[in-house]
Structure 1
Amino acid sequence: MGSTRFAEISVGYEDEGDGEPLVLLHGHPFDRSMWRPQIEHFSRAGWRVIAPDLRGYGESSVVPGTTPLETFVRDTVALLDRLGIERFVLGGLSMGGQIVMEFWRLFPHRIRGMVLADTFPAAETDAGKAARRDMAERVLREGMSGYAHEVLPKMIAPHTIATRPDVARHVMGMMTGTPPEGAAAALRGRAERPDYTEMLSRISVPALVVVGTEDTYTPVSDARDIHRRIPHAQLTVIEQAAHMPNLERADEFNAALEAFLTTLPRTA
């Protein structure tokens, strides 16, 4: 656990283990603790796992207004530069996956492998832009609690809620603990994200695509399309999981990620 400051913000992050760096970017409206099962597993398995709180989330600074995906990327670059990390495996879930795609657009030479979990490459539709802007105004007006209770059964599967109350409490705690100003800024930024669909065919590093069978936000069909477009990508579909298979089915997620990581050539 650490914290550093650069430019106008401070960033909280985990940096556990030794070896090749594995960088994990959380989704919305969560924080770095969503990667707890992966941090614990892979830091013991010979990887150096770095998981930051994105700007506006967790222990990182809240900057009201609009936070484009590019800003999240540049914050991550600044953190990794501070930690002396040049090349790494980069993974992200949902919004985190979109940040991974933006990272490839801007700094492809820094990525030696990528993980795209429960995410979507297309730009937002006009209706989607309006919905994200409306939601930004709602969370500023009402706070995060009402939104969090509404989306919990989509973030994690009803089966998980019934059988894993610890996971449900963790997910709810992350959502209700997110500062509304940070969530709103990210929602506005995602409304204006680029379309990464055509870029996927130009990804030239190994890629793993993961999705839960019960994910209604980014369904299996979206993951299969990403898998089809990225040359030589791997696809793992995790049963009885919705939008957060890394928490709902951590053992299965970790096994898929570990199998993928073992295929990567070691750096000199």
Structure 2
Amino acid sequence: MFAEVNGIRMGYDDEGEGDVLVLVHGHPFDRSMWRPQAEHLGGAGFRVIAPDLRGYGESTVVPGTTPLETFARDITALLDHLGVDRFLLGGLSMGGQIVLELHRLFAGRIRALVLADTSAPAETAEGKVARRVLADRLLREGMDPYAAEVLPKMVAPHNIRALPAVADHVLGMMRATSPEGAAAALRGRAERPDYVAMLGRVTVPTLVVVGTEDEFTPVEVAEFTHRHVPGSRLAVIEGAAHLPNLERPAEFNRVLGEFLGRAVATVAA
């Protein structure tokens, strides 16, 4: 499906009926990373909306710099287009940081948060330089060398061997991403605000998820977020790296489904 919002054409999936769950993909992926969750929850009383962020998947590529605020406003424009006011919201990695930005801007619209394999602090000085250097590299080399290099961090090496279809899917998403779109996101992400202080003001049900073997956002990063969000739940997925929703979909879906069921009941009470 497609919608014209904020001057771009945005691709998205809209599956199931019931309480609306919006899922935000990470970098450098697309909305297909949420297919196991959309299929599971879309048939279990939820309406799952998964957009392609600008610069990714089937959405318009806008070179330059894309701040997290732009991604957040694109998503809310899509939800306005679809007539959705309040929603459950989840994201992974960069998608989790976009979720935090959405909370900063539109907290009153959010019923619950899912923060998967992501971090709340602002980028470090060294990290800012590294993201800008990587952005330039992607424009110079394309996505293929980077994709091959980071695959063993996105998907645990033992899962690359045991789950070749998952590894192929992840590699395919990365290779298909526009270098211009990825570079714009990297530059914007380098300048992201610090969300740590905001974590203590989160009042909606919150689930923090992380894979035990995640090198990008290790378990201690998730534990930090969990400690700072009042009443949050922490779920650590064994045998997964940065993409537990794809590496361990059954366990991820079980944890997510149980949390969302409780969150809906709590909000409705």
Aligned length: 267
The one-letter amino acid paired with 1:24 is: L
List structure 1 runs of 4+ shifted beyond 4 angstroms.
none
Q: Aligned equivalents of 1:112 and 1:11: distance in 2?
A: 24
In the alignment, what sits opposite 2:173?
A: 174
Residue 267 of structure 1: how far off its partner (Å): 4.5
Q: Aligned equivalents of 1:116 and 1:162: distance in 2?
A: 27
In the alignment, what sits opposite 1:142?
A: 141
The one-letter amino acid paired with 2:54 is: R
Cα deviation code 1:211-245 (max 9, x no counterpart) = 00000100000001100100000010000100000
Q: Aligned equivalents of 1:124 and 1:18: distance in 2?
A: 38
Matched, 1:75 2:74: yes
The one-letter amino acid paired with 1:51 is: A
TM-score, scaled to structure 2 = 0.98
Match of 2:262, SS? Answer: coil
Q: Aligned equivalents of 2:194 and 2:9: distance in 1?
A: 29
Residue 11 of structure 1: how far off its partner (Å): 0.2
Residue 159 of structure 1: how far off its partner (Å): 1.1
In the alignment, what sits opposite 2:116?
A: 117
In the alignment, what sits opposite 2:99?
A: 100
Match of 1:4, SS? Answer: strand
Counterpart contact for 2:26–2:94, Cα < 8 Å: yes
Cα deviation code 1:165-209 (max 9, x no counterpart) = 000000000000000000000000000000001110100000000
Residue 262 of structure 1: how far off its partner (Å): 1.3
Matched, 1:225 2:230: no
Residue 68 of structure 1: how far off its partner (Å): 0.2
The one-letter amino acid paired with 2:241 is: A
Q: Aligned equivalents of 1:118 and 1:214: distance in 2?
A: 11
Counterpart contact for 2:6–2:74, Cα < 8 Å: no
Residue 6 of structure 1: how far off its partner (Å): 2.1
TM-score, scaled to structure 1 = 0.98
Cα deviation code 1:11-67 (max 9, x no counterpart) = 000000000000000000000000000000000101000000000000000000000
Cα deviation code 1:88-137 (max 9, x no counterpart) = 10000000000000111110000000000000111111110000000000
In the alignment, what sits opposite 1:66?
A: 65
The one-letter amino acid paired with 1:205 is: V
In the alignment, what sits opposite 2:256?
A: 257
Residue 255 of structure 1: how far off its partner (Å): 0.3
In the alignment, what sits opposite 1:213?
A: 212
Paired residues for 1:234-249 under 5 Å = 234-249=233-248
In the alignment, what sits opposite 1:12?
A: 11
Counterpart contact for 2:93–2:116, Cα < 8 Å: yes
In the alignment, what sits opposite 1:185?
A: 184
The one-letter amino acid paired with 1:56 is: G
Q: Any stretches of 5+ residues in structure 2 without a counterpart? A: none
Q: Aligned equivalents of 2:5 and 2:223: distance in 1?
A: 38
Match of 1:116, SS? Answer: strand
In the alignment, what sits opposite 2:24?
A: 25
The one-letter amino acid paired with 1:130 is: V
Q: Aligned equivalents of 1:151 and 1:6: distance in 2?
A: 32
Q: Aligned equivalents of 1:32 and 1:189: distance in 2?
A: 20
In the alignment, what sits opposite 1:89?
A: 88
Q: Aligned equivalents of 1:238 and 1:59: distance in 2?
A: 30
In the alignment, what sits opposite 1:203?
A: 202
Match of 2:47, SS? Answer: strand
Q: Any stretches of 5+ residues in structure 1 without a counterpart? A: none
